[in-house]
């Protein structure tokens, strides 16, 4: 279909009045729109008059996730909650482009109907999230009372309550001082909506990360991070903000790719095999939402990250 002049999403909305603009934007970002035969991914792209636009609309999927038998590592489970050690590469809940094969799909199969409904049909039981390529510990609520109790602890972020979360991060360089606090507001980037950016105070959401260098490897360091707030991509953006992005982070550490050449050969190979940001949620502690009993779980670095650490230490 020939396009009129203007923004791509607005042009598509005129051409396909039966589809909402938000739905069309999702189709663009998912690679289902072509201009003159080439895939376009930016809904705000300017299109000139006469451009040939092609839209492929995938078959509709159920809004209610279905259970899938996927392997889960479960350090702890009772009638109120389940603690999961999420592997890297696993998306937490269904979203455009990831309608199946998520943690939620696996949890539905594992728990049946015993998941809290507070998060909605697409996020049952989900109290907090980890990025797809971040591994580590999560807690999931099995009923609404547990969900409310856990959510209150996560909202407090351990300032006055029992919640404790710590992450292992491999960062380029060695942060100075070796122990400190990063306080910088975060918001969606104006230039790339898929990224989070540090913004001036008052223009985003308050975000605080406490860090401590645990080991030094010359060109890189092992950093333990503790969250005082829980913003999207917080550790990745904060460490990049102070000049020490995560190894393997293609989104926030792309400018540091050449540093890989300074690593020993075995470390270069391990970093290439990692193929993700070097971040692991290794510690999770909270009070049981029903009994008040302190629960604390630790997860060692998974094999891919442990291999990279070992090669850096030699």
Taking the C-alpha atoms of residue 39 and residue 34, their distance in angstroms, rounded to an integer, is 4
Phi first, then psi, for residue 164 (nearest 5°) are -140, 125
- For residues 104 and 126, the answer to whether their CB atoms sit within 8 Å is yes
72 - beta bridge partners?
none
Task: Report the residue count for the chain.
Answer: 314
Residue tagged active-site, from 9, 80, 131, 133: 131
45 - beta bridge partners?
none
Taking the C-alpha atoms of residue 258 and residue 261, their distance in angstroms, rounded to an integer, is 6
Active site residue 131: yes
Token pair listed for 11 = 């042009």
- For residues 253 and 247, the answer to whether their CB atoms sit within 8 Å is yes
DSSP E strands in the chain: the ranges are 6-7, 33-35, 38-39, 46-47, 53-55, 76-77, 81-86, 135-141, 164-172, 179-183, 186-188, 196-198, 208-216, 220-227, 279-287, 294-298
Catalogue the active-site residues.
131
């Amino acid at each position: 279909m020939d396009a009129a002049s203007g923004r791509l999403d607005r042009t598509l909305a005129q051409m396909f009045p039966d589809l909402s603009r938000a739905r069309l934007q999702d189709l663009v970002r998912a690679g289902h729109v072509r201009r003159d035969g080439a895939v376009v991914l930016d809904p705000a792209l300017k299109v000139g008059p006469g451009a040939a636009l092609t839209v492929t609309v995938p078959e509709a999927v159920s809004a209610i996730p279905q259970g899938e038998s996927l392997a889960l590592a479960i350090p702890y489970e009772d009638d109120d909650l389940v603690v999961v050690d999420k592997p890297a590469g696993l998306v937490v809940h269904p979203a455009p482009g990831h309608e199946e094969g998520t943690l939620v799909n696996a949890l539905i199969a594992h728990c049946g109907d015993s998941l809290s409904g507070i998060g909605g049909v697409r996020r049952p039981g989900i109290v907090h999230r980890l990025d797809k390529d971040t591994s580590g510990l999560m807690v999931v609520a099995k009923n609404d009372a547990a969900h409310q109790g856990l959510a209150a602890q996560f909202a407090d972020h351990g300032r006055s309550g029992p919640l404790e979360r710590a992450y292992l991060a491999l960062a380029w360089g060695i942060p100075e001082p070796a122990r400190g606090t990063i306080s910088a507001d975060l918001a969606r980037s104006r230039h790339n909506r898929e990224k989070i950016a540090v913004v001036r105070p008052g223009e985003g959401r308050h975000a605080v990360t406490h860090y401590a260098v645990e080991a030094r490897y010359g060109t890189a360091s092992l950093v333990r991070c503790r969250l005082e707030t829980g913003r999207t991509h917080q550790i990745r953006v904060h460490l990049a903000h102070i000049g020490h992005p995560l190894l393997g982070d293609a989104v926030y550490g792309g400018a540091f790719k050449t540093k890989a050449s300074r690593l020993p050969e075995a470390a270069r190979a391990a970093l290439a095999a990692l193929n993700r940001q070097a971040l692991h949620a290794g510690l999770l502690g909270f009070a049981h939402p029903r009994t008040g009993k302190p629960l604390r779980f630790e997860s060692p670095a998974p094999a891919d990250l442990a291999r990279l650490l070992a090669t850096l230490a030699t």
